[in-house]
Structure 1
């Protein structure tokens, strides 16, 4: 069988890496399973894309659609046009998409219109917040998908409630954690560690990129000011997403303990996360990694599509509620954080399960 694997943005690369490894393993076992890797070019900053191929040993893409940035409509249209041409030139038996970025949705639509099966890795997660572009991407993707590979029993139920047949749903675990477990021994100190003389469990990491946090200048300024104030003298490391950097340039946010960095590669960023006292973020994927690494995580959102990181893991939701943020900091600084546990099947073998299911589905 021929599989076209789609990657478009930073989180995708972490998810496809173990899947590619699992497919290669099946090839060594004699199974007729081939893949073609399509990079849509949705993220094009080197530290948001190129570095990941090098660090995670992902083969170079067979094609880069080179779509780059634009409005939601422009980016979606560009990906669809490029991917339609790609499938016409290189037919396949299965389009495999991961996550919930624009590329996921756009390539799912194109694949189905071409009469090709679609498999969605990380299917069924929901935030219930239609203001999030990712939520729309998830809903559209899952409405068209043929094979659903899920990270949790909550996702299974979400899909069943929508009428998806149980035999289409495969609970496999979390491929993001496959990548984390494989690369934990390879995590490396970023230069900023020595530059700032950082010490384990004596600094915070912050990431922000969602429109609800960064689109309104005063909201962003107020949020960062509160975090810096509550963090007292702790160094706060802020790898800045290109989208956020543009907004920060016009704000007067100069604090002695707030340190901006360029986007970091996977190995350096997760080194910072692993050794931090805590992480503040509006990213869903980071809440999964902090849960597995047992690092306290404060999520600056009103909702999450990964409730298991709150119910089972080390994550709590605070949104923009000042009292909740203050309470979280009080517990964090007092070393009074809740005890987290690792969700079911987040064991580093999700991609192997996906490959095994594909062998069964296509009777290879």
Structure 2
């Protein structure tokens, strides 16, 4: 148990890079220890594929039970939101090539199925370059991935809207961009990033909202809405897609972005300084959010130090890693970040906001 128990001490007088190197080395050693202690962890490809198959089959079974009337809609949404959180972690690991690195057919097939299960997101192949840049320049102004999740924006209705509906967020950014060329460029980029699955996903969602708002408004003003048989048949399909796929992903994405955007620092982070890029957020009251993003707030900071470990190993490493990270000065539960628009500096006079 030597590796498990020996967190040692980290000299506070060390440079930030020396602390980062120490944290990275110790977490890596602990991961190696866990792999030796639990040999099943050495079958990384099989574990990743197994979790993915379990999640996809689970979503299909749950959807079938809902369509047949064996479970209510809220239960289908709840279960599938949990399952899509597993698939998100698998996709994130795939972006880092942690599964089937030397077997491109299997690797790309898993990437494709991840995209199908989360169609409201751009393709993982397009996101790979953004994510690699996020690791290199996390928290700086060029970190587009962090900005997309609303890091750096002041809290208010606009940020809440961005968290709830990424498509509207992108559309509004394009509409209010300065100059027609910029507007057209951003609109084209939104369409490209959402083709083809995202356009179907968001289109289905807006049809669902539009129809049910129309019916609701009719009931408010006392006008009965008489839909045609064709419309009712189409809406039956749309309603099922929303319950089985869209609503679970909206919940998962909101929870993930809410946690991610607040545990990452943004705007005044020293370049490539993992001590400043993230914090650990793990209070009990965040569990309703953590549940739908696989405990992201507690474990994602570990990933900024050690990229090679898959998501399930980070969960196992967390108790040890947290001790080492705390000794190095990584922050825990810094809730002032909500008021500072995710700035690392605690001096409010030096913070600035990005809308």
**TM value normalised by structure 2:** 0.27
Larger RCO, structures 1/2 (Cα 8 Å, 6+ apart): 2
In our comparison, the structure showing a higher alpha carbon Rg is 2
**TM value normalised by structure 1:** 0.26
